[in-house]
């Protein structure tokens, strides 16, 4: 049975993005002209996911609104004959079935996933973190589900090599290569100290998980930072079922970090069909100014 449901946690305060995220959820900040969370939803849909479960929090209702119909806006665009924009707006609300659930207290990523338990039910499911934008064809999640379907079991995590000095920002695996791009994970640890990290293979925000993860999360004590950590739940479940790390093909951007967000804007801007050539010209001009050329 393949994976049809995806959970997107979006309940965090987005403190790394203050002041921009004080009122506007960071998931709605645009990369070029699209909110980051729409890139994530599109990846899920392009993979064949049929139900997206958003885990939101207070002050985050505008994320749900973004994927809902917008009666006044659509009426306005229709009356002005702006049919291209009307279609774009309607396409967003027709994308996929979106269900949302609230995480009432911010107790960590593992707890956010646990909030989706009733809606996910008794099926394996995907988790996509909205901070991690992956530009890939086929989509990162599709690549992972292909691996999962071939293996027919277990947990699959997206992984990527990161500079050793950055391991403290990620879940890090201790794994053994079993085939091209695929690692059997022996253990994993959330945000280890640089000296204690078992490798520099980091978990990037894409996970394929079995429903048994919920039972583990329910019993799990707080971990790193006093939060219920998804990494810890996966490590514990790994004592019973195999965990695989898949080194996906594609470019990943950390859109939850100011610099990563800026880089994503430049890269996606350069690929934008209308703006790309102008952005490229502009960047060349800026680079020449920086280098002191006329
Ligand atoms: C989360 C996970 C971490 C993972 C990272 C990927 O951390 O807890 O294991 O490596 O996402 O982006 P966060 O960045 O939310 O602190």
Q: Write out pLDDT tens, residues 124-145.
A: 999 999 999 999 999 999 999 9
Q: Is the peptide bond before 138 cis (omega within 30 degrees of 0)?
A: yes
Which residue owns the Cα nearest ligand 1 atom 5?
170
Q: Which atom of ligand 1 is nearest to the CA of 109?
A: 8
Q: Is the CB of 43 under 6 A from ligand 1?
A: no
State the distance from the centre of ligand 1 to the C-alpha of 69, rounded, in angstroms. 32
| Cβ partners under 8 Å of residue 74, min gap 6 | 86, 89, 90
Outline where DSSP puts E strands in the chain: 5-9, 30-31, 34-35, 51-56, 97-102, 125-128, 132-135, 155-161, 171-179, 182-190, 201-209, 243-247, 251-254
Q: Which atom of ligand 1 is nearest to the CA of 170?
A: 10
- Inter-helix orientation angle 36-47/140-151, to 10°: 40
Higher per-residue confidence, 190 vs 69: 190
In the predicted model, what is the mean pLDDT of residues 182-187? Answer: 97
Q: Is the CB of 155 under 6 A from ligand 1?
A: no
Q: Helix, strand, or coil here: 105?
A: coil
- Ligand 1 pocket: which of 112, 113, 205 to mutate (most atoms <8 Å of CB)? 205
Q: What is the DSSP letter of 121?
A: -
State the distance from the centre of ligand 1 to the C-alpha of 247, rounded, in angstroms. 16
Q: Is the CB of 170 under 6 A from ligand 1?
A: yes
- Ligand 1 pocket: which of 107, 131, 192, 255 to mutate (most atoms <8 Å of CB)? 131
Q: Which atom of ligand 1 is nearest to the CA of 202?
A: 10
State the distance from the centre of ligand 1 to the C-alpha of 78, rounded, in angstroms. 42
Question: Confidence class of residue 294 from pLDDT cuts 50, 70 and 90?
Answer: low
pLDDT tens digit sequence for 197-230: 999 999 999 999 999 999 999 999 999 999 999 9
Question: Are 112 and 11 spatial neighbours (Cβ–Cβ below 8 Å)?
Answer: yes
Q: What angle do CA 264, 271, 162 make, to 5 degrees?
A: 35
Mean pLDDT, the chain, integer? 94
**Rounded CA separation 103/257 (Å):** 23
**Rounded CA separation 263/37 (Å):** 17
Neighbours of 194 (CB within 10 A): 11
- Give yes or no for residue 293 having a pLDDT over 80: no
Question: Are 127 and 113 spatial neighbours (Cβ–Cβ below 8 Å)?
Answer: yes
pLDDT tens digit sequence for 18-59: 998 888 999 999 999 999 999 999 999 999 999 999 999 888
Question: Confidence class of residue 1 from pLDDT cuts 50, 70 and 90?
Answer: low
Instruction: Give me 227's structure tokens.
Output: 């939060």
264-282: burial string, b at 16+ Cβ within 10 Å, e else = bbeebbeeeeeeeeebeee
Element housing 125 (H / E)? strand 125-128
**Rounded CA separation 273/160 (Å):** 29
Q: Is the CB of 40 under 6 A from ligand 1?
A: no
What pLDDT does residue 176 have? 97
* Domains by residue range for the chain, with CATH: 5-256 (3.90.550.10), 257-294 (no CATH)
What pLDDT does residue 283 have? 97
Residue the block writes with tokens 């921009």 = 20
Which residue owns the Cα nearest ligand 1 atom 10?
170
State the distance from the centre of ligand 1 to the C-alpha of 287, rounded, in angstroms. 33
State the distance from the centre of ligand 1 to the C-alpha of 231, rounded, in angstroms. 9
Q: Is the CB of 190 under 6 A from ligand 1?
A: yes
**Rounded CA separation 44/97 (Å):** 11
Q: Is the CB of 202 under 6 A from ligand 1?
A: yes
Residue the block writes with tokens 């006044």 = 72
In the predicted model, what is the mean pLDDT of residues 187-192? Answer: 96
pLDDT tens digit sequence for 93-136: 887 888 999 999 889 999 999 999 999 999 999 999 999 999 99
Predicted TM-score (pTM) of this structure: 0.94
Give me the percent of the chain exceeding a pLDDT of 90.
Answer: 81
| Cβ partners under 8 Å of residue 3, min gap 6 | 49, 123, 124, 125, 126, 145, 148, 208
What pLDDT does residue 70 have? 85
């Amino acid at each position: 049975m393949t994976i049809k449901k995806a959970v997107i946690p979006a309940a965090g305060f987005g403190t790394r993005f203050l002041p921009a995220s004080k009122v506007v959820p960071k998931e709605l900040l645009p990369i070029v002209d699209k909110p980051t969370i729409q890139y994530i939803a599109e990846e899920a849909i392009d993979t064949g996911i049929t139900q997206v479960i958003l885990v939101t929090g207070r002050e985050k209702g505008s994320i749900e609104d973004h994927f809902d119909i917008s009666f006044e806006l659509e009426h306005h665009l229709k009356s002005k004959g702006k049919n291209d924009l009307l279609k774009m707006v309607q396409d967003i609300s027709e994308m996929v079935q979106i269900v949302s659930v609230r995480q009432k207290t911010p107790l960590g990523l593992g707890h956010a996933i646990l909030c989706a338990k009733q809606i996910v039910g008794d099926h394996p499911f995907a988790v996509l973190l909205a901070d991690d934008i992956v530009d890939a064809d086929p989509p990162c999640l599709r690549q992972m589900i292909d691996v999962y379907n071939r293996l027919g079991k277990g947990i699959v995590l997206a992984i990527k090599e990161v500079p050793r000095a950055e391991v403290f920002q990620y879940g890090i695996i201790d794994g053994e290569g079993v085939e091209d791009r695929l690692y059997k994970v022996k253990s994993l640890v959330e945000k280890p100290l640089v000296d204690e990290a078992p490798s520099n293979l980091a978990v990037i925000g894409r996970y394929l998980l079995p429903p048994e993860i919920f039972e583990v999360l329910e019993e799990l004590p707080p971990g790193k930072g006093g939060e219920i950590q998804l990494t810890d739940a996966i490590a514990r479940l790994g004592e019973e079922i195999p965990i695989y790390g898949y080194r996906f093909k594609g470019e990943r951007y950390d859109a939850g970090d100011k610099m990563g967000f800026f880089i994503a804007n430049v890269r996606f801007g350069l690929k934008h069909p209308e703006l790309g050539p102008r952005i490229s010209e502009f960047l060349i001009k800026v680079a020449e100014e920086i280098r002191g050329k006329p």
